[in-house]
Amino acid sequence: MAQVELSPADAERVARAEAWIAQDPDPETRDELVAIVEAVRRGDDAARADLADRFDTRLAFGTAGLRGAIAAGPNRMNRVLVAQAAAGLAAYLLERAEPGEMPSIVIGYDGRKNSDVFARDSAELMAGAGVRAVLLPRLLPTPVLAFAVRHLGASAGVMVTASHNPPDDNGYKVYLGGSSHGSQIVSPADAEIAAHIERVAAERTVPDLPRGAYDTADESVVDAYVAATAAVASAPRSSADGATRPAPRVVYTAMHGVGWETFARVIDAAGFERPVVVDAQIAPDAAFPTVSFPNPEEPGAMDLSFARARETGADLVIANDPDADRLAVAIPDIEAAEGWRRLTGNEVGLILGWRAAEEAAARAAGDGGAEGTLACSIVSSPGLEAIARAYDLEFRGTLTGFKWISRAPGLVFGFEEALGYLVNPGTVRDKDGISAAVAFLDLATRLAAEGRTVADHLDAFVERFGCYASGQISIRVTDLSQIARVMAALRSDPPAAVGGIRVERIDDLAAGFGDLPPSDVLRLVLGGGGRVMVRPSGTEPKLKVYLDAVSTDGTVEQRRAAAAATLAALDAGMRALVEG
């Protein structure tokens, strides 16, 4: 087919695409882009739109690092973009280093497509730039990388993962050592690193970037993580006379990710029996063949786990997401369609927070009271603050993300409702689905020894602290401007009531609020203790609405019924506002 005359904008995009092709070391993405350019030259409108989407903007580097679909172009994840990110991060570390100091970085990767390639590229380019680079010995969970940053005393860390994103995605998560203690980057570091990356992209090509030799960490790093994480468990597995105590029967799934090998070693070291596994999901598989979306929160993602639990008569299901930084827990429930109910992130966070508060009180026995801080994101359940008050602990509400939660002073436990839990801040300053699983198994084992179940413990929580019910509305969009329009409408015409419940005040966090940095979040404080939070997702094209209701009057059943009724009213009211 004959070529057509290109518009100036298309001609400019084609020129940039051809420059990209010339520096791309990956034949797959190079050939992909060649085909798109050829189609644009033939006048293919779909190809023109595709090229514009890939080249009119860059994949933003923010406090979540980079994350996007694997494909060619600056608005996708690929070897060119990763090379620019590695060189830019190296420049940032060198700029911050003391005179004569050689900064260092440790790099990890999971089982997603190209994770190992992106990690090795990063290690070679870091080394070539003058940064000591250490690559973890094989694909491993994200928490092992977060641990390694502190354990090795590195200046920074990179984890190549897209966590629970769709199968075609990958990402690049950055941690800082030193005074950040292995936490993820926050502002202004994100903007400073992004500026270096953009400078590299504008001034250098990938073949021009020097490469060097990197080190590979030995197994002692993994051994140290295993030992530290096993120590999270405290419940004895046998009685004083040596008899084995009752223990819950557990089913585990790795969701086609990298969690099982490390988790199995940790539970062996902690003295737990190994769980029954979901065989079809236990080994890393970048295609994620049994799930349409590898996120335990998504409908259907845990169906194979529930089937395995029914087969084996299990008491508990435990799931990690693909990079094992999140934890999902399910318990038997005769009223649920599958006979099993996945606990919400808030339910797990509250009972793990209660466990942490009890441990803080036990450590302080005779020393004048418990010390420490319980922290959660502002969109997570307000029940954690009630626990902190009951145990005279500090409480800190933070912006969403463990980059903020992990920085709470005096932290002893932190969580966010999206299945993230930080139970061992002295070891890992990030959410850790493996240590959280150990903590939950420890709790469930203690309960079993007392003849109680997790469901009984949830009842005990409601009796002690009240019923904190939560819900969420998640609206996935293809046009991000739709989210901006909804947020603008809520700000310009705020509701006086939601679901018939009066709005007492609206906190707009766009300019900061109290000690919280600015964030695109609206908090609606309602009569009767209800609360609604609205924000764009930081990692996916979604608008998220978080609903909270509380009831402290009456029996456990009455408290649950009252909170559920309020939650249903809030859900209907907010859907009318944001989906209309």
Q: How far is CA 1 from CA 13, 41, 43, 46, 137, in A?
A: 21, 10, 10, 16, 50
Give the C-alpha separation, 11 to 122, whole Å.
Answer: 32
Q: What single letter denotes the amino acid at residue 156?
A: A
**Burial category of 479 from C-beta neighbours within 10 Å (exposed 0-12, middle 13-18, buried 19 and up):** exposed
Give the C-alpha separation, 73 to 18, whole Å.
Answer: 10
Known catalytic residue at 104: no
Options 104, 155, 163, 470, the catalytic residue: 163
Number of CB atoms found within 10 A of residue 226's CB: 23
Give the C-alpha separation, 220 to 217, whole Å.
Answer: 8
End-to-end CA distance of the chain: 46
How is residue 281 annotated by DSSP?
G
Yes or no: say if 327 and 232 are a contact pair by the CB < 8 Å rule. Answer: no
Give the C-alpha separation, 7 to 519, whole Å.
Answer: 39
Yes or no: say if 433 and 534 are a contact pair by the CB < 8 Å rule. Answer: no
Cβ contacts of 361 within 8 Å, gap of 6 or more = 370, 391
Annotate 416-448 with DSSP letters as a single string: ETTTEEE--TTT-SS--HHHHHHHHHHHHHHHH
Give the C-alpha separation, 384 to 346, whole Å.
Answer: 9
How many helices (H) and strands (E) in the chain?
17, 22
Give the C-alpha separation, 52 to 42, whole Å.
Answer: 16
For residue 446, the number of C-alpha atoms closer than 13 Å in the C-beta half-sphere is 11
Yes or no: say if 532 and 574 are a contact pair by the CB < 8 Å rule. Answer: yes
Q: Which residues pair with 542 in a beta bridge?
A: 476
**Strand 394-398's sheet: what is its strand order?**
394-398, 373-377, 411-416, 420-422
Yes or no: say if 258 and 140 are a contact pair by the CB < 8 Å rule. Answer: yes
Q: What amino acid positions are annotated as catalytic residues?
A: 163
